[in-house]
Amino acid sequence: PKEKAPFITFVLGGPGSGKGTQCEKIVETFGLQHLSAGDLLRREIAMNTKNGATILNLIKDGKIVPSEVTVKLIQKELESSDSSKFLIDGFPRTEENRVAFERIIRADPDVVLFFDCPEEEMVTRVLNRNQGRIDDNITTMKKRLKIFNALNRPVIDYYKNKGKLYTINAIGTVDDIFQQHVLPIFNSFE
d(CA 143, CA 125) in angstroms, rounded, equals 16
In the window 101-140, what residues touch ligand UP5 (CB under 6 A)? Answer: 125-126, 129, 135
Which option in ligand UP5, Mg ion, none does residue 34 bind, with CB closer than 5 to 8 A by kind?
Answer: none
Cβ nearer to Mg ion, comparing 61 with 84: 61
9 near ligand UP5 (CB under 6 A): no
59 near ligand UP5 (CB under 6 A): yes
Among 32, 35, 41, 87, binds ligand UP5 (CB under 6 A): 41
Backbone torsions φ then ψ of 172, nearest 5 degrees: 130, -175
37 near ligand UP5 (CB under 6 A): yes
d(CA 22, CA 140) in angstroms, rounded, equals 23
Among 6, 7, 20, 30, binds ligand UP5 (CB under 6 A): 20
144 near ligand UP5 (CB under 6 A): yes
- Helix ranges (H only) for the chain are 19-30, 37-46, 52-60, 67-80, 95-105, 119-129, 138-147, 153-161, 174-177, 183-187
| Cβ-proximal residues to 122 (8 Å cutoff; 6+ apart), any chain | 14, 15, 16, 17, 141, 145
93 near ligand UP5 (CB under 6 A): yes
- Comparing CA positions, the residue from 47, 45, 42, 103 lying closest to residue 75 is 103
Q: Which residues bind ligand UP5 (CB under 6 A)?
A: 13, 15-21, 37-38, 41, 58-59, 62-65, 70, 90-91, 93, 97, 125-126, 129, 135, 144, 172-174, 177
